[in-house]
Amino acid sequence: MSLNRKYIPIVVTILLFLVMFAAGSFRYTGFFSLQVLMNLLVDNAFLLVTAVGMSFVILSGGIDLSVGSVIALSTMISASLVQQLGWPPLVVIPLVLLMGAAFGSAMGAIIHYFKIQPFIVTLAGMFLARGLCYVISIDTITIDHPFYTAVAQTKIPLPGSSFLSISAVIALIVVAAAIFTAHYTRFGRNVYALGGNEQSALLMGLPVARTKVLVYTLSGFCSSLAGVVFTFYMLSGYGLHAVGFELDTIAAVVIGGTLLTGGVGYVLGTFFGVLIQGVIQTIISFEGTLSSWWTKIVIGLLLFVFILLQRVLTSGSPARK
């Protein structure tokens, strides 16, 4: 059986990751190790969590520009409640997650019930959340609560003297749960249907309103979870955290093979999309002499390639009349 063409983008993504990792391994000594691979997860845990939420939004045919700001706001709220008010982290973290989900569902409800483009609504959400950070404080709030430092320093040992962080494990759990949700639950399939043709989904009797609101709720939840993970990584809350991060996230999803028009793509693709971004950064840091801005250049080029690839694949599909 020949390869189903719907799998081509994801196969390309996975191959690209393998090729880049292999190239790095040949060029740099010490690159080819389990720890380098694990570090991709450790350093990009928050990107992975956010990108998973974004995948659902884009699959449903929407976009969420507020994710970076929601991350910043989550770090800010966590830091101020824990450091300045002395609340216990085990109360603060669920509260922050709830806040993110509520923020997302509010945007989703506005998008659906007022029929406004997601681009505009989430752009407004982006400014709102970013602005709220500065209401809390204009400075960095450093977190030195023992719970946070403990989580940040915990290393989960793996064979071959490599390790994962707690954040990376959280990210992996999120990815696994998302893959199950996308492919084995009605909600997941409704998201694909919505992205395929909203009008049809409505006429087929699917719960379009509920699905749409839930998609943005999920993205808001993932962003705030990424915010929590980010506090473990940075040990601070700051209004300038994760500026422009929504674009990195969208790039990861697109490089992962998800169509921006919705309905086509895989969470697994997003996973590799994130890893590709991580590999580029790792290669550049191994190179040593290159500025880290080269990451942006390479990602920019990759985005072009993937968008062109998608165009070729979709226009070439045999949708004969």
Partner 1 sequence: MSTQKPILQMTKIHKRFPGVKALSDVNLRLFPGEVHALMGENGAGKSTLIKVLTGVYSIDEGRVEMEGMPITLHSPLESQAAGISTVYQEVNLCPNLTVAENIFIGREPRRFGRILWKEMNRRAAELLSERMNLQIDVTRPLHTYSVAVQQLVAIARALNISAKVLILDEPTSSLDQKEVEQLFRIMRKLKQDGLSILFVTHFLDQMYEISDRVTILRGGEFVGEYMAEELTRLELVMKMIGKELHLLEELPSLAEADQHTLGGEWIRAEGLGRKGGIEPFDLAIRQGEVVGLAGLLGSGRTETARLFFGADKPDSGRLTLPESAGTVRSPREAIRRRIAFCSENRKTEGIIGDLTVRENIILVLQAKYGAFKAISRKRQEEIAGEYIRMLNINPPNPDHLIKNLSGGNQQKVLLARWLLTEPQLLILDEPTRGIDIGAKAEIQKLVLSLSRQGMSFLFISSELEEVLRVSDRIAVLRDRRKVKEVTGKDMSQQHIMQSIAGG
Q: How far is the CB of 175 from partner 1 (least distance, A)?
A: 18
Q: How far is the CB of 264 from partner 1 (least distance, A)?
A: 5
Q: How far is the CB of 18 from partner 1 (least distance, A)?
A: 26
Query: Applying CB under 8 A, which of residues 2, 3, 4, 85 lies at the interface with partner 1?
Result: 4
Residue 65 φ/ψ region, left for φ over 0, alpha for ψ in the -120 to 50 degree band, beta for the rest: alpha
Closest CB to partner 1 among residues 201, 268: 201
Query: Which of 130, 132, 118 lies closest to 250, judged by CA?
Result: 118
Query: Applying CB under 8 A, which of residues 168, 264, 267, 298 lies at the interface with partner 1?
Result: 264
* Segment 164 to 223, residues that bind partner 1, using CB under 8 A: 180, 183-186, 189-190, 192-193, 195-197, 199-201, 203-206
Q: How far is the CB of 206 from partner 1 (least distance, A)?
A: 5
User: How many other β-carbons are positioned within 10 Å of the β-carbon of residue 142?
Assistant: 12
Closest CB to partner 1 among residues 175, 264: 264
Q: How many residues of this chain bind partner 1 (CB under 8 A)? A: 28
3 is a contact residue toward partner 1 (CB under 8 A): no
Which residues lie closer than 8 Å to 307 by C-beta, 6 or more apart? 254, 260
- 166-184 helix and 208-234 helix, angle to the nearest 10 degrees: 170
* Segment 132 to 151, residues that bind partner 1, using CB under 8 A: none
The 299-318 contact track toward partner 1, x by CB under 8 A, reads: ------------------xx
Q: How far is the CB of 319 from partner 1 (least distance, A)?
A: 5
Beta strands in 44-147 (DSSP E): 141-142
Which residues lie closer than 8 Å to 109 by C-beta, 6 or more apart? 213
Q: How far is the CB of 203 from partner 1 (least distance, A)?
A: 5
Separation between Cα atoms, residue 280 and residue 302, nearest integer Å = 11
Helix (H) or strand (E) holding 22: helix 8-27
Q: Residue with structure tokens 């979870």?
A: 225
- Alpha-carbon separation of residue 152 from 18, 23, 228 (angstroms): 29, 31, 11
Binding site for partner 1 (CB under 8 A): 4, 6, 180, 183-186, 189-190, 192-193, 195-197, 199-201, 203-206, 263-264, 317-321
